[in-house]
Chains A and B, each alone.
Chain A
Amino acid sequence: MNGNLFYTPRRRSVSLTALIDVVFILLMFFMLTSSFTRERQLELASPVASNDIPATSPRQLVLQHSGELTLMDDTPIALTDNSISTDFTHDQPLIIRPVADADVQAIVSAFARLKALGFNQLSLGNPVVSHAEGMQP
């Protein structure tokens, strides 16, 4: 009598423990290495010598330490959500000149606000020597 006739193959179950181990390791890897910050870049058109003559003359704005923008004679400029309080046109190049102790966050924020108002020809100029420093002998 053949013994194989009475052999019923049983399905061997695969243990899920090994699977979950690998999946946990993969999960840890992706959790630790993934970055969700989307970096952006802001073009700083640095004013270099060029033969291109702009159609309109650029205006200079001073970025104060507080983040406020003023004209060169310290007249403040009111920036609201959709307007600027001076007679600037949108195609006019603007040179932002920060005071020496303004930080990069203030510069980037000023660029962001002016771009939101439609000014696209922005460049970063030399820092302005403050009046207190300028009056020193």
Chain B
Amino acid sequence: MNLDLQPPRRHSGDANIIPMINIVFLLLVFFMVAGQIKSTNSTTVELPSSPVGAAAEEHKITLVMDRDSQLSLNDSPIALESLDSALDETLIGNDSIALLADKTVKAAELDKVLAIFRARGIAKVSLFSDGAEIP
């Protein structure tokens, strides 16, 4: 007499992927909680590393300076010569400016921008860095 003592297996295909779904759900929750969704800069800027400094805040005016010292003001490319006049339109009151400069930019190039800020009396400039340790 042939007795089939095996319990009936239902939906064996789905049962095999349940551990995988658990892991995928955990990964999903991790990326949702730990990550931040932010817009990426169109230009390639590698920020300098610094372990100190306050957490970055939102600024109305963001000036990006890439490794070739090309400027973009609020995501639109701009020449250094026209930066002063562009600030006339965008700068309202006593705003502070976020300056995202590539870590390889030389001080002489950075000072050309800071000289425009100084001439306009802008004292609050926030130089952005990422929070990694100094290599």
Residue numbers of A with Cβ under 8 A of B are: 13, 15-17, 19-20, 23-24, 26-27, 30-31, 33-50, 63, 98-105, 107-109, 111-112, 115-116, 124, 126-127
Contact = CB atoms under 8 A, between A and B. Distances in A.
A127 B47 CA distance: 21
A37 B114 contact: no
A48 B52 CA distance: 24
A9 to B, nearest CB: 16
A38 B133 CA distance: 11
A21 B118 CA distance: 55
Contact of A40 (B27, B50, B103, B123): B50
A46 B123 contact: yes
Given A27-B31, A46-B117, A46-B118, A104 B110 contact: yes
A45 B124 CA distance: 6
Contacts of B111: 126-127
A86 B133 CA distance: 27
Nearest to A15: B14
Nearest to A50: B123
A27 B28 CA distance: 5
B50 A108 contact: yes
Given A112-B51, A116-B52, A44 B107 contact: no
B115 to A, nearest CB: 8
B83 to A, nearest CB: 15
A104 B118 contact: no
B53 A42 contact: yes
